[in-house]
Structures are given as C-alpha cells and as structure tokens.
C-alpha cells in the first residue's frame, strides 16, 4: 500500500505568516490528492482536490500544489480561524489513505 507522510506533525505560527505543509506519497499518485481541514470538535472539511483545485467557498489564501509524490498545502496569510488539523488524502486507488495530520496553532 502507498503510505502518505505529512510534515511537520505540528507547527506554531503567527497571524499573517505564510504556512506550508508537506505531504509525501511513497509512490506516485499523479494529482489524485485532496486536503482537508478539521477544526477541534468539528467535521472534516474539503479544502482542495486534484492537488490544486480549490473547493467552492474556501478562502483564496489556501492553495495546493504538487504532482507525483510531493505535495504542499500553503496558507498565504494565517488567520486565527485557520487553527485546525490538516490532512492529505490520496484517492488514485484503494486504500484511499489519509496522512497522519498536521496540527496548526497560532
């Protein structure tokens, strides 16, 4: 099975900072990658799919890039409401594994 590894596991940044989260697949997955945001006690929310397509209604400060094995989620200017855990997920084939998550704090 393809493994999904996120880094870092957690980070602390200031409001207005640019934040980058990395997701690495153990084998190539083309661009079949999604990013989710889960705020404490809440349901996961889709942010990005096909590696770089922003889901409707998601603020433009979120962006995704990458293809093959290496992907990034970038928050261009961190806001207080962005405190959450972020997960990547591959969906090119089963199992459609999630990364272990990256916790973002202010």
Partner 1 sequence: QIQLVQSGAEVKKPGASVKVSCKTSGYTFSNYGITWVRQAPGQGLEWMGWISGNNGNRNYAQKLQGRVTMTTDTSTSTAYMELRSLTSDDTAVYYCARGGGYADYWGQGALVTVSS
Nearer to partner 1, 10 or 77 (CB): 10
| Contact region with partner 1 (CB under 8 A), list: 23-31, 59-67, 73-81, 85-93 | 85-93
Residue 81 and residue 96 in contact, taking contact as beta carbons nearer than 8 Å: no
- Phi and psi at 80, nearest 5°, equal -55, -35
Annotate each residue in 29-68 with x if it binds partner 1 (CB under 8 A) or - if it does not, as one string: ---x-x-x-x----xxxx--x-----x-------------
**Minimum distance of partner 1 from residue 92's CB (angstroms):** 8
3-state secondary structure of 56: coil
CA distance 51 to 34: 6
């Amino acid at each position: 099975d393809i493994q999904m590894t996120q880094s870092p596991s957690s980070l602390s940044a200031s409001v207005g900072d640019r934040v980058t989260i990395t997701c690495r697949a153990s084998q190539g997955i083309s661009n079949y990658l999604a990013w989710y945001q889960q705020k404490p006690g809440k349901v996961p929310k889709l942010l990005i799919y096909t590696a770089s397509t922003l889901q409707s209604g998601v603020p433009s400060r979120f962006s995704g890039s990458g293809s093959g094995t290496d992907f990034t989620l970038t928050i261009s200017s961190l806001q207080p409401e962005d405190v959450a855990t972020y997960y990547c997920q591959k969906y090119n084939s089963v199992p459609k594994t999630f990364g272990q998550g990256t916790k973002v704090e202010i």
